[in-house]
Every structure is written in C-alpha cells, then in structure tokens.
Structure 1
Amino acid sequence: MDISFKTPKGRFNYRVAGLLIYEGKILIMKDENQPYYYLPGGRVLLNERSEDSMRREIKEELSIEVDIKRMLWVNENFFTEESLNERFHEICFFYLLELKDKEILKRGDEFIVNENGKIHNYYWKLFEELKDINVYPLFLKEKINELPLNIEQLVEMKD
C-alpha cells in the first residue's frame, strides 16, 4: 500500500526520487500527458524503508539495478499538480544513485518505457539544459551543480 492518501484539503504523498548521473548528464523523465519533467522514483510503501523503495522503483520503471550512494535532500513540497489540479503536501527523499552496469546507456539519450500501460519518456540531459525546461523539483536546476555531502532539508511552496 502506497503512503499516499487524499483528504478534503488535498493529497499527502511520501515518495523517493533518484539522481542517476553519467558523464555530466542526469536522467529525467516525462509522462506522455504531463507538461513537466521529473526524476525517476515513486511512492514508498507502508512498512518499506525508503532505500528499498528507491531500488524497487528503479527496478520497476527501468528494469535495472542501482546502488545507493547517499541521500542528498529531504524535500517538503507544497504544490498544486498541474494536470490533476490537485493540492499536494509531499515529502520526498532524494538519493544519489549509481548504475551497477552500463546497459541502460545503450538505450540512447532518449528512450521510452511502457510500465504496465503507462508510457514514460526518459532523457539524459546535460545539467545546464535543466535551466531551460519545466523540471521538478525546481531546486534541482541550481543544486545539481553542487551536490551536498550531508543531507539538506529543503521546503518548497509553489502556487
């Protein structure tokens, strides 16, 4: 069971997201009907450690295994999701990930994955390219150039 629930005032969501970085590029994704890009990851299950959730989500979405190097950020995010027009209060743990092998790189700089009927478009983007696209979280555009050695807490309020 995902740790996500709807209330009369909006939705609470507990999720994880992973930064896969290779040769100055970061892997981001976009769903076919969404106007924005985001990092691979997903919701944490009840009674699941966030690191286990991160590994599971990457395996489900990309069919690859990763190592977790370290947690980078804990983000408390308040926003209205654009396509659903739904208010969110989201807690997200961001992890720096490392590829166990380079097989995914053979897919190219852009590739599509069909995850149980849901189409995900993936892109390897140079860090500086993030400035010119609609990518969430917003802080990623600046923070990608200097990843923290210790966990940082970030709060975003977007309306």
Structure 2
Amino acid sequence: MNNREIKEYNCGFTNDNKWFRYRAAAIIVEDGYVLFAGNEKEDYYYSIGGAVHMGETAEDAVRREVLEETGVAYEVDHLAVIHENFFNENQGGLKGLDCHEIALYFMMKSRGTRELNSNSYTQGVKESMYWLPIDQLDEYRAFPTFMKKYLQAEHHGVEHIVFDERTNQ
C-alpha cells in the first residue's frame, strides 16, 4: 500500500458472540414516502446508511452512505434521532451474535423528487431502493421499527430512542 492509499476501518468490533457497530443513517422523506433499502438475500427493508469509519464524522458518513446507496448527493438537514438498538441476529453474517448498535439518524433535505440513480451493492448483493408510504409502514417488515411513529409526530430537538429486541422494549 502506498502513502496515498488509506484503508478504511469501520467503527465496530466483535468479541466472542458480541457484536457492536457505530452507524450513521438517513431519514429521506419525499411526498409522504420514506426511503428504505432492500436486497434479495434479506426478507426485510432497512434504513439507508452504514458504519462510520474511524476518523470520520457521523455527518460525513451519512452523506457518503447516502451517495453510495442512492447515487444522489443529499444534503443533511439536522440530526434527528440517536438510536440504541439491541438485537439477536438469526441470519446472514451476524447469525448467532448478540448485537448492539448505536445509530445517529440524520434528516436529509427534501429534493422534491423521488428520482434516484442507485447502483448499490452490500456484501456483493445488489441493493434496491424502495419508497414506502409512511402511513402504511406497519404493513412492511422495515427497520428501524420506530420510523412510522417518528415520522407521524412533531419533534423538537434530537430524540433518543432505545429498543431492545431481546426484551421487546
């Protein structure tokens, strides 16, 4: 590796059966729809975003992830949610792990269009972008589960949401 090449390290680690990740995610809303991603390996939709790299701010990470996944350079409006998420994964690369994720969710500025230029892959699998109607989100298996309730309420400041799948709270 020469001096110009920089290896990117995600902020996260695995220790025995415990997995931790620091993630930056986007809330992208256009005309009553919120943007989620999905792929042919998973049976659910997930928020746009990904791991923050060492030395990278969460805001820079969310801009990078949104551009990588949607092909569009959305602007950050504001930090909306700090989400502490505890879950046990039963499929994929995290199967059998006790997972702990801290995610900062940023509200992105509306562009007035749902047109995207996505050509995203995750772990070698093509990702697709899905505009899901906010008022029907409970009809989809979409994570994070707080999204519908959050988007249908008025907010002042940053929300702190803790969800523990292990205790269903």
- TM-score higher than 0.5: yes
Q: 7-16 or 78-87: which moved more?
A: 78-87
CA contact 2:23–2:104 (8 Å) conserved in 1: yes
Aligned pairs for 1:128-147 (under 5 A) are: 128-147=135-154
CA distance in 2, matches of 1:128, 1:57: 26
Aligned positions of 1:85-124 closer than 5 A? 85-99=96-110, 102=113, 105=115, 113-115=119-121, 117-124=124-131
Is 2:20 the partner of 1:12? yes
User: How does 1:1-159 map onto structure 2 within 5 Å?
Assistant: 1-83=9-91, 84-99=95-110, 102=113, 105=115, 113-115=119-121, 117-159=124-166
Q: How many aligned positions are there?
A: 154
Alpha-carbon distance between aligned partners in 2 of 1:63 and 1:4, rounded to the nearest angstrom: 25
Cα contact 2:83–2:160 (8 A) shared by 1: yes
Distance 2:18 2:80 in 1: 27
Which 5+ residue runs of structure 1 have no aligned equivalent? Answer: none
Q: Relative to 1, partners in 2 of residues 1:19 and 1:147: Cα closer, same or farther, differing over 3 Å?
A: farther
Q: Distance in 1 between matches of 2:116 and 2:60?
A: 26
Structure 1 length normalisation: TM-score? 0.88
5+ residue gaps, structure 2, are 1-8
Structure whose residues are more often strand by fraction: 1
TM-score by length of 2: 0.83
